[in-house]
Structure 1
Amino acid sequence: MAFAPISPLTVDGLADRLIHAQLDTGLTIEEIVNNDKQKWNNDLLKRILNVCVYGGIVKLINDDKHFILTESGQMMTSDHPSHVRDLIRFMFGSVLTNASLQFHKIVYNQTDDKVDSFDMFTLLNKCNDKEFLSIYNGAMTTMSIEAVIKLVDGIDFSRFKTIVDLGGNRGTFLAQILKKYSTIQYGIVFDLSPIINEVNNGEEFISREVSNDKWSFISGDMLDFSTIPLADAYILKHILHGFNDNKCLKVLSSIRQANENKKNSLITIFIVEHIIFPEGATSNWQTYGLDMAMAILTDNARERTQYEYEDLLNKTGWKFIKLYPIQAPNSVIEAQFYC
């Protein structure tokens, strides 16, 4: 309920109206709603904006009737490069809201797999709703932007010639890698066909001035090894936490199978996730919160400890190399196998 006032700023485009306010005069409620008087409850809208004032999203100008957006509030406009608006719309949208209604059934083991289970991966693979795909892709971009610089700076990617970002969406993480390490020859964003069709304009690469001949988008299914492009290194960012153990094993096996015919080659993967650390880690509060969200969204999906990831890697022939405890809030596990 604490986040309820944010909804009109994003879903109903209120921030897009407030962005046009003069900084020295602001807009009144009547000026904000303009000719839409039948649509808005002006009294409630003012109360909502008052809450947003104390949340640092909206600012009062001159008196208690004129409003402007703060710098944080500007991030909720529809064309802001942070895509924060999409993240909020995704979090409070019908897909996640409806999935959360199943939580009490999950706790009491009352779910019927054929009726109640929810699988985001399956939904995205079959999705024809362009608006939902746009919101989802924007939300994933926001989550990448949050920590991408710390993650890229914390690992040496210069040792690779070709990198594939599996489930890479808009390619935010890969674009930052290519920007920092000019020695990398090529990067590929790999994702489901409905997603690639929506995001392949390369805005994340173009905005970072990465040359057009150094990246591409390829569609496929990471559970089908025949569709996975060959590379020296693969990134799995916020992927495995969305799967149960069996599907994680299939993904890790698929990457190996895709490279089986390569000879005398070292293949590296980087698992980027909210890893559960021993008690006292600063990132654990976020990780445990996200763990509950994953339990709702996908059958037996979860956040994991380093040792749980090591177990999955060992079962699929990968050798654990190193944990990068960046806690940004994500951390990274590196693993390898030799063809």
Structure 2
Amino acid sequence: MNEDLREADTEAAGRRSSARVVEEALGFLYPAALRAAAAVGVADHLADGPRTAAELAQATGTDPRNLHRVLRLLATRGLFEEDDRGRFRLTAAGDALRTDAPVSARSAVLMLTDRALWLPSGEMAHCLEKGTSPFGQIFGMPFFDYFAQNEDTAAVFHDGMAAMSDAENEPLADSYGFPATGTVVDVGGGHGGFLLAALRGGPGLRGVLYDRAHVLAGNRIDTSDVAGRCAVEKGDFFASVPPGDLYLLKRILHDWDDEQCVGILRNCRRAMAPGGRVLVVDAVIPPGNAPHQGKTLDLMMMASLVGRERTEADFAELFGAAGLRVARVIPTPTVLSIVEGVADGDGRP
């Protein structure tokens, strides 16, 4: 009898496990639905109140039945909500899907679910079997070469990164507390959102936004409150960086392998003034089994690029190879941390 009960318990546990695993495997359909809703701009038509799927379909030029099916799934996680009259409303949690939301994430959604990131993720077994990204096999060239040849995809990427940064920049700058004076060089700074937050925090600071020419074309650094305090300089951070006192590397090192990262850090070390500092702003993977967005982003890096998200020990090793040392790791209200490096041998804490 006891043996029969044990067998029954084992079978029940097996069924629960099977159901859980199948549910996890279906999880990819949620971001697919999220992308579809963002692509057709559904949320923009809900700013004034709830509407039926038929009304939304007419506004967005989509199929009403299929739009209802997409929104019904998204409503299971709280971004939309369907009422008993079949009308959908945008919740507070989903408000950032609006293009004109105060901190819109729509461009970030379109970037994170773009085929350049989506398709390689579906071939992740390649990473395990070959130890390399499947990106080149799918697109015929490395990630950044592909972007250089596809202006539309590059625009999606840079707009998406700017959208992700908009929610991060101010809390990141507040977490560090920038000095009152000196020159801040934003290496690979994209559209300049983080540099702008830094300059606003230090009214005596001067800034240099440093990136490729095609990226700098979309910069947003020319605002009245920092007028005359920021230069825009094009270049290649693998070759050199401009002189300065403080170097920002926000979401840069995670794109590249260890050797390339050391090269970038060495260039900063050579160019920085005495007493200068390097701020690497990336996810720092914590130990243990707790969820952390960096663990998810790490697999995106693995599938599409050559880089990875790193632990504090990983950063210490990179800094040491570049003639720097980690002075401190500063947590922030965002998923990112600030890893502050100083010249090796600098006695300051």
Sort the TM-score into its range (normalised by shorter chain): 0.7 to 0.9
Q: Do the aligned partners of 1:320 and 1:336 also contact (CA within 8 Å) in 2? A: yes
Equivalent residue of 2:51, what SS?
coil
| Structure-2 residue corresponding to 1:333 | 339
Say if 1:322 and 1:114 are closer, same or farther in 2 by CA, change over 3 A. closer
Cα distance in 1 for residues equivalent to 2:141 and 2:303? 8
**2:184 equivalent to 1:163:** yes
**2:165 equivalent to 1:144:** yes
2:40 pairs with one of 12, 16, 35 = 12
Q: Do the aligned partners of 1:84 and 1:142 also contact (CA within 8 Å) in 2? A: yes
Cα distance in 2 for residues equivalent to 1:93 and 1:278? 30
Cα distance in 2 for residues equivalent to 1:27 and 1:325? 41
Q: Do the aligned partners of 1:164 and 1:229 also contact (CA within 8 Å) in 2? A: yes
2:208 pairs with one of 188, 202, 205 = 188
For residues 260-279 of structure 1, the aligned pairs below 5 Å read 265-279=274-288
Q: Do the aligned partners of 1:324 and 1:332 also contact (CA within 8 Å) in 2? A: yes
Cα distance in 1 for residues equivalent to 2:173 and 2:249? 14
For residues 1-339 of structure 1, the aligned pairs below 5 Å read 1-19=29-47, 22-23=48-49, 26-34=50-58, 40-60=62-82, 63-109=84-130, 115-116=136-137, 119-124=142-147, 126-129=148-151, 131-158=152-179, 160-184=181-205, 186-197=206-217, 199-202=218-221, 206=223, 210-225=225-240, 228-259=241-272, 265-279=274-288, 285-299=292-306, 301-326=307-332, 328-337=334-343
Equivalent residue of 2:32, what SS?
coil
Say if 1:67 and 1:48 are closer, same or farther in 2 by CA, change over 3 A. same
Q: String of CA shifts for 1:213-233, please: whole Å, max 9, x gaps.
A: 2224322211011xx222111
Q: Do the aligned partners of 2:187 and 2:210 also contact (CA within 8 Å) in 1? A: yes
Equivalent residue of 2:320, what SS?
helix
Equivalent residue of 1:3, what SS?
helix
Say if 1:160 and 1:268 are closer, same or farther in 2 by CA, change over 3 A. farther
**Aligned pairs, how many?**
315
Cα distance in 1 for residues equivalent to 2:226 and 2:261? 33
Equivalent residue of 2:288, what SS?
coil
Tell me the CA shift for residue 295 of structure 1.
Answer: 1.0
Cα distance in 2 for residues equivalent to 1:30 and 1:218? 50
Tell me the CA shift for residue 60 of structure 1.
Answer: 4.4
Q: Do the aligned partners of 1:83 and 1:139 also contact (CA within 8 Å) in 2? A: no
Normalised by the size of structure 1, how large is the TM-score? 0.81
Tell me the CA shift for residue 44 of structure 1.
Answer: 2.1
Say if 1:60 and 1:334 are closer, same or farther in 2 by CA, change over 3 A. same
Tell me the CA shift for residue 35 of structure 1.
Answer: 7.7
For structure 1, the 5+ residue unaligned runs are: none
Say if 1:278 and 1:17 are closer, same or farther in 2 by CA, change over 3 A. closer
Question: Which of 1 and 2 has greater Rg?
Answer: 2
| Structure-1 residue corresponding to 2:9 | none
Cα distance in 2 for residues equivalent to 1:287 and 1:110? 20
Q: Do the aligned partners of 1:6 and 1:52 also contact (CA within 8 Å) in 2? A: yes
Cα distance in 2 for residues equivalent to 1:45 and 1:223? 46
Q: 1:155 corresponds to which letter in structure 2?
A: Y
For structure 2, the 5+ residue unaligned runs are: 1-28
| Structure-1 residue corresponding to 2:13 | none
Q: 1:252 corresponds to which letter in structure 2?
A: L
Tell me the CA shift for residue 128 of structure 1.
Answer: 4.4
Say if 1:46 and 1:189 are closer, same or farther in 2 by CA, change over 3 A. same
Tell me the CA shift for residue 68 of structure 1.
Answer: 3.5
Say if 1:107 and 1:219 are closer, same or farther in 2 by CA, change over 3 A. same
Say if 1:307 and 1:144 are closer, same or farther in 2 by CA, change over 3 A. same
Tell me the CA shift for residue 239 of structure 1.
Answer: 0.9
Tell me the CA shift for residue 243 of structure 1.
Answer: 0.6
Equivalent residue of 2:176, what SS?
coil
Q: 1:232 corresponds to which letter in structure 2?
A: D
More helix, by proportion: 2
Say if 1:160 and 1:323 are closer, same or farther in 2 by CA, change over 3 A. farther
Q: Do the aligned partners of 1:160 and 1:233 also contact (CA within 8 Å) in 2? A: no
Cα distance in 1 for residues equivalent to 2:268 and 2:132? 32
Normalised by the size of structure 2, how large is the TM-score? 0.79
Moved over 6 A (4+): none
Cα distance in 2 for residues equivalent to 1:66 and 1:254? 56
Say if 1:271 and 1:337 are closer, same or farther in 2 by CA, change over 3 A. same
Tell me the CA shift for residue 108 of structure 1.
Answer: 0.7
